[in-house]
């Protein structure tokens, strides 16, 4: 019964997440085409968003855990450390949007639907899934530092990509409007938040009584 409950929760959340991601690709690509961009340009532009990357991670992890749990990728995404890292990243997606980005945007229609799913629905649901259905057994503190590798690589990628094409996905990383010094300050602040929240997730993992896999 416990395994069935966990599977049902993963299926529902995977469907919600895939719906949000696919809808975002569809409406954004359609909009970009009307502005003279190619499908290829649109896809790479959409994939440059940390939000999209991590919602795809959520969807992939849940899908592979359900459909191919014995595969190499299924086992990788089933690891407690992997799921905790994804929970951390998707939490950052939610917090940065709600605190920094929401006041900067006004969406309507399908754009608003997709926006809310990816920023306000999936993140808390996945964190709840992690909290209630992922077994806890005491992650090492050093994981919080290793989890910084991905956002650091993302930052380098965004700055190189932006320097080449002049296109930045987020205002706090946009060299067209702010200096590199400010970008570094913003990035350092975000990395500090990543580290702090990573340590918080590990603290929760270590405090929660060890539970059997559900």
Q: Does 135 or 63 have the greater pLDDT score? A: 63
**Residue 212 placed within a domain:** no
Percent of the chain with pLDDT over 70: 96
Ramachandran angles phi, psi of 211, nearest 5°: -120, 150
**Residue 214 placed within a domain:** no
Tens-place pLDDT, residues 80-121: 999 999 999 999 999 999 999 998 888 899 999 999 999 999
Average pLDDT value for the chain: 93
**Residue 178 placed within a domain:** yes
**Residue 159 placed within a domain:** yes
Long-range CB pairs of 124-133 (<8 Å, 24+ gap) are 124/94, 125/13, 125/16, 126/13, 126/58, 126/86, 126/87, 126/90, 127/87, 127/90, 127/91, 129/9, 129/10, 129/13, 130/83, 130/84, 130/86, 130/87, 131/204, 133/5, 133/6, 133/9, 133/214
**Residue 36 placed within a domain:** yes
* Total count of domains within the chain: 1
Tens-place pLDDT, residues 27-48: 999 999 999 999 999 999 999 9
Q: Which domain holds residue 130?
A: 2-207
Contact 186, 173 (CB under 8 A): yes
Residue 211 has pLDDT above 80, yes or no: no
**Residue 89 placed within a domain:** yes
């Amino acid at each position: 019964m416990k395994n069935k409950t966990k599977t049902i929760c993963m299926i529902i959340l995977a469907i919600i997440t895939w719906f949000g991601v696919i809808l975002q690709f569809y409406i954004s690509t359609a909009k970009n085409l009307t502005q003279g961009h190619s499908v290829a340009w649109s896809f790479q532009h959409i994939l440059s968003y940390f939000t999209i990357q991590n919602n795809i991670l959520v969807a992939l992890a849940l899908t592979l855990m359900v459909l191919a749990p014995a595969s190499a990728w299924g086992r990788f995404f089933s690891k407690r450390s992997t799921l905790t890292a994804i929970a951390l990243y998707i939490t950052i997606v939610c917090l940065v949007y709600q605190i920094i980005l929401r006041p900067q945007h006004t969406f309507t229609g399908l754009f608003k639907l997709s926006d809310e799913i990816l920023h306000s629905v999936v993140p808390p649901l996945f964190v709840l899934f992690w909290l209630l259905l992922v077994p806890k057994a005491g992650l090492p503190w050093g994981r919080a530092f290793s989890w910084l590798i991905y956002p650091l690589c993302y930052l380098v990628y965004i700055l190189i990509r932006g320097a080449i094409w002049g296109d930045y996905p987020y205002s706090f990383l946009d060299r067209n409007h702010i200096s590199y010094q400010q970008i570094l300050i913003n990035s350092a602040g975000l990395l500090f938040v990543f580290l702090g929240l990573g340590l918080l997730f590990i603290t929760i993992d270590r405090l929660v009584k060890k539970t059997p896999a559900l």
